[in-house]
Structures are given as C-alpha cells and as structure tokens.
C-alpha cells in the first residue's frame, strides 16, 4: 500500500486549476474545471446533475437516491443544511430529529473536517452544557465499584489516545433499497472519519471491576425524547462486553484536536467504531453493565436488526423471529473526486480518481473501478490506514475511449473476500446494511 504522502503526490492538485485533480496526459482548461466544479456543486445541491443510467437491474440513480421519500411521505428533494459551523453543502434529511448527510464529493479529506461531518440525532438535541471538564457520567450495574467520573477525572486517571476512525450510521445507504426502508433516506453520506481523542472504555470498566455476570452494556445520554416525555429515552442501545472491551471503543472528549462539538455529543460521548453509530451515545450520562442483552430504546424488534432469513422486499416483519442485532457494518467504497456530474474538456482521455473505502470490523483487501458497467475492472492504489477502523484512501486513473457520457463505478472487497454488490441486498423494514457499489457520471466534451 502507498502511504498518505505518496497518495497525495499521485493525485496532486495543479497550482493553476483551483485544486482540481491534475489528469495524466492532456491538461483540462481552467474554464472547463470551473464549469465542471460549478455543475457538480449545483447537481449535488439539487439532486440532479448528469443522470445515471439504470445500469444493472435495481440500481438507483443519484437523482432518485438523493432525497428519496420514505414510504407514505410527500416527495421532497434534498434540502440545504444551514447549521452553525457546518458546510453549506451538507444535505438536510430531516429536521425532527435533526439529520444531515455529507455528499461523497465533500468526503475528499483524509480526516473528515468537523464542518463536513454528518449529523445524526434520534431525539431532541440535548441542552448545551457549559460544564466542559466538569461533565460527569456513571458506570454501574454488574461492577464491584460503581463509578461517577468527570471528564477531568477521565483525563487525569486514564491514559489518553487518539485514533482516526470511521463513524457510520446504521441506515447509511437506505435509499438504495427498493422499496425504501423506513427512516432518513441516506445515500452514502452517513459516514465520516475523524480523529477522536479520549480513553479506552475498557480501562474505565476495569477500574469499576467487572463481575462474572458482566456480559453486556447499556448506554444513556442527555438527549430528550422527541415527545419531550422525561420518562422516555431518545435512544439507549448496548453491546456485548467483548466489543466494549476492544481497545478502540472509547470515551471521547475531543474531535480533530478540538473540544468535542455540542452537535456531535460534547462534552463526552462514546465512539464504538465498526458497528452502527447508534451505539456511540452522545452527551453520555451513564454506562450500565448488564447480565442480559440491553432492552433500551433502539433495541429489539426491527431496530438496528437484520433478517437472518431473506425477506420478500416490502414485507411486514416485527423482528420477533429470524432477526439478529446488527454488528459489523458492511464493506463500502465511494468516489470523492471527481464529483458526479463533472464535465471535462473535449479530448480528455484519462481521468484521475480519488476515494475512500471501509468495512466495519474488517480490513479492505482491494478497491476496483470500472468505466464499462462492470464488464472490466481495474485495481487502484490504496494508502495504509493510520490504525484499525481508519478508512482506506485510494487513487487511480481510468482511460476513456472517446468524448461522450461515461459512468465510473467503484467497488471494494473486504478481508473476508466479500465485495460490494451491484444492488442493495437483504431488504429489511428499517433499511439497514445497504451497500451497493457507488457510481458517478462524467461528460467529456
């Protein structure tokens, strides 16, 4: 694998083209790049741009995927997201609760900036708290010494660490299911890869002294339920103790070297990488260690659970039988440059590509691209991740035979040999685990 510096050199921006990627061979004009960039931005904002063909049966176009309504909802295109400190290019998926995704073209950084990081809430946003290091949370249940700790005590008592890790919504890719699953209609933008600073959850649990019966956790945050009912939790999920004891499961107080922003759960949150981000409780107030699987809000039924026997798409299912909790997120890859809808100068025959790939608990084995609808694939160069659960940044160049309209497809294969499918598979009522290959359209000339 290449290191990050080599990857950046392989796809270095030209000093005279406003940061667009320098193609190998003929250099596109400044006007062409500016036109392409503006069209791509407009297309992303409007959910339009160049249309994507139907491709393999069931593939969803970018236009229909962006902002596709949930069943029974009034059709509505993607809306701009206007929130302090957030990039204007994020797309609002829902305002109650507040949810916004990041278009693939904005995920072009090795480390996702805070301003470009997706936003996901399950209830109301917690009231902003100015306590900072005085913020406290509890560890109780199946432990010998229940703890109440402040953020300041976490910093002084336990060894801090910083890890660059992907956080991904369990419903990422939901809009690619046919019919759509219930909930926010994510494309690929319910994911980001930030540098998280905090302490190992395992170290804190060890300090509390786990009893023999400690088999699971349950997590609680300060975010109110959407109804405002103080007796209800907005969300309260949990995990097997083995996942909690992984060294990358963390109690986090900083993001990209800055105090954890309020919208992302500050002053303190959990980060449980590789699994649905609903486990990574924001505004953390309590970790309950349990003998039995957690039964809080967001557990059981069809919540963050997948069918173990394939369902007929559109079926009614209550999740009481033949369903299992979602654990590792599926393999996924995206093209981050060029953007969907980019126009290139006539005569352009080589197009440099950049992107990212990740695979939950697993590693990325390879990333491939195609310009002929998957008839032929070519491998791209991958950078070495900084640590486990970091995404893999990749670069490559594709050759085009002529001017005209082309689609570029990307697929990743994980360390088990499992590749992204052409279409979303294992339909389920809540639309979890959808990870079809990503594709963009470009127009030459």
Residues 6+ apart with CB under 8 A from 8: none
* Residues 26 and 349 sit within 8 Å (Cβ to Cβ): yes
Bond from prior residue into 90 cis (ω within 30 degrees of 0)? no
Q: Using CA atoms, how far apart are residues 342 and 33, in angstroms rounded to an integer?
A: 8
* pTM for this prediction: 0.87
- Helices and strands, number each (H, E), in the chain: 6, 24
Domains located in the chain, CATH noted: 1-445 (3.90.420.10)
Q: Using CA atoms, how far apart are residues 280 and 260, in angstroms rounded to an integer?
A: 13
Give all strands (DSSP E) within 169-241, no chain letters: 191-200, 216-221
Tokens coding 185 = 């209609």
Taking 50 as the pLDDT cut, the residues of the chain under it are 8-48, 55-58, 60-75
pLDDT for the residue numbered 37: 39
Give all strands (DSSP E) within 107-255, no chain letters: 119-120, 136-141, 147-150, 160-168, 191-200, 216-221, 250-255
pLDDT for the residue numbered 40: 39
Q: Using CA atoms, how far apart are residues 125 and 45, in angstroms rounded to an integer?
A: 25
pLDDT for the residue numbered 20: 29
Nearest to 238 by CA among 219, 223, 221: 219
């Amino acid at each position: 694998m290449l290191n990050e510096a080599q990857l950046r050199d392989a796809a270095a921006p030209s000093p005279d083209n406003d940061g667009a990627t320098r193609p190998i061979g003929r250099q596109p004009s400044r006007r062409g790049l500016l036109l392409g960039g503006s069209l791509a931005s407009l297309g992303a904002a409007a959910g339009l741009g160049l249309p994507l063909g139907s491709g393999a049966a069931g593939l969803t176009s970018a236009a229909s995927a962006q902002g596709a309504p949930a069943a029974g909802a009034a059709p509505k295109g993607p809306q701009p997201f206007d929130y302090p400190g957030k990039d204007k290019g994020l797309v609002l998926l829902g305002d109650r609760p507040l949810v916004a995704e990041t278009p693939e073209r904005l995920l072009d950084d090795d480390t996702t900036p805070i301003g470009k990081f997706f936003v996901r809430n399950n209830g109301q946003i917690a009231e902003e708290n100015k306590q900072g290091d005085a913020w406290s949370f509890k560890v109780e249940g199946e432990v010998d010494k229940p703890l109440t700790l402040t953020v300041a005590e976490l910093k002084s008592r336990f060894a801090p660490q910083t890890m660059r890790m992907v956080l991904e919504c369990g419903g990422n890719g939901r809009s690619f299911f046919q019919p759509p699953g219930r909930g926010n209609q994510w494309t690929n933008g319910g994911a980001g890869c930030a540098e998280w600073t905090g302490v190992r959850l395992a170290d804190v649990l060890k300090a509390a002294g786990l009893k023999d019966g400690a088999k699971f956790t349950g997590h609680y945050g300060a975010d109110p339920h959407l109804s405002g009912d103080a007796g209800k939790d907005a969300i309260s999920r949990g995990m097997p103790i083995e996942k909690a004891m992984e060294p990358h499961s963390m109690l986090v107080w900083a993001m990209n070297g800055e105090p954890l922003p309020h919208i992302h759960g500050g002053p303190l949150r959990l980060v449980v990488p590789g699994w649905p981000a609903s486990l990574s409780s924001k505004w953390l107030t309590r970790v309950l260690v349990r003998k039995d699987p957690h039964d809080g809000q967001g557990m059981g039924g069809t919540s963050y659970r997948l069918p173990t026997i394939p369902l007929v798409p559109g079926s009614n299912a209550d999740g009481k039988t033949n369903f299992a909790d979602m654990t590792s997120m599926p393999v996924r890859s995206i093209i981050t440059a060029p953007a969907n809808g980019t126009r290139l100068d006539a005569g352009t025959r080589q197009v440099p590509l950049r992107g990212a790939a990740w695979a939950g608990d697993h590693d990325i084995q390879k990333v491939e691209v195609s310009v002929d609808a998957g008839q032929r694939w070519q491998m791209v160069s991958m950078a070495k991740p900084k640590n486990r659960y970091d995404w893999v940044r990749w670069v490559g160049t594709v050759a085009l035979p002529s001017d005209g309209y082309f689609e570029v497809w990307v697929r990743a294969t994980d360390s088990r040999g499992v590749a992204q499918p052409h279409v979303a598979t294992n339909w389920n009522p809540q639309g979890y685990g959808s990870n079809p290959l990503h594709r963009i359209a470009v127009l030459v000339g």
